[in-house]
Structure 1
Amino acid sequence: MLTTWTDDECKLILENCWKALPAGGKLIACEPVLPKESDDSHRTRTLLEGDIFVMTIYRAKGKHRTEEEFKQLGLSAGFPHFRAFHVHVDDFFTVLEFQK
């Protein structure tokens, strides 16, 4: 889970994945993704509580990120294409696709 790592560590992980993939290859990750703006929905409250949990357990090393933050991490690691799929299997996780 990228959630348990700092931005620099995530970038390194993503760079290593990018190097291992063939041209056009994809990295799929399932991560909790924070909404752009906070609201009173059950999903947002659950994600924010999860973010506090991650920061507590991993001593502020990890964090939940927004879709844009994941996109920027992917771009910084060399992935020019990014998509997020908000599937209705679980309110907590979003499927992220990074393509080389």
Structure 2
Amino acid sequence: MENCYKALPVGGKLIACEPVLPTKSDDSHRTRALLENDILAMTIYRPKGKNRTEEELRQLGLSAGFSHFRPIYIDYFYTLLEFQK
């Protein structure tokens, strides 16, 4: 994310599409699907990776230098993440 920040002009945006984990677990189908995907991501696709909550993504962007973060929940599973320089 830091490399993306460095490559962007002032005012530029980084747009990502990711599943965003809920802050608190509940019995909804959405939460169950997201948590199952997180387990899958940790065990198969990214052995040292994980999905993140909205706040974790916000902090990740801020630590890379981005000054603005906006999540846009587009469907049951994925969220557009907008980071602005």
Structure 2 length normalisation: TM-score?
Answer: 0.95
Count of residues in Structure 1 that have an aligned counterpart in Structure 2: 84
Matched, 1:72 2:59: yes
Q: How much has 1:65 moved relative to structure 2?
A: 0.3
Distance in 1 of aligned mates of 2:60 and 2:39: 21
Q: How much has 1:79 moved relative to structure 2?
A: 0.3
The runs of 5 or more residues in structure 2 that have no matched partner are: none
Matched, 1:48 2:35: yes
SS across alignment from 1:28: strand
Choose which of 7, 15, 19 in structure 1 pairs with 2:2. Answer: 15
Q: Which amino acid aligns with 1:97?
A: E
Distance in 1 of aligned mates of 2:41 and 2:23: 19
- Number of the residue aligned with 2:83: 98
- Number of the residue aligned with 2:20: 33
Moved over 3 A (4+): none
SS across alignment from 2:18: strand
The percent of aligned pairs where both chains have the same amino acid is: 74
The runs of 5 or more residues in structure 1 that have no matched partner are: 1-13
Distance in 1 of aligned mates of 2:34 and 2:62: 24
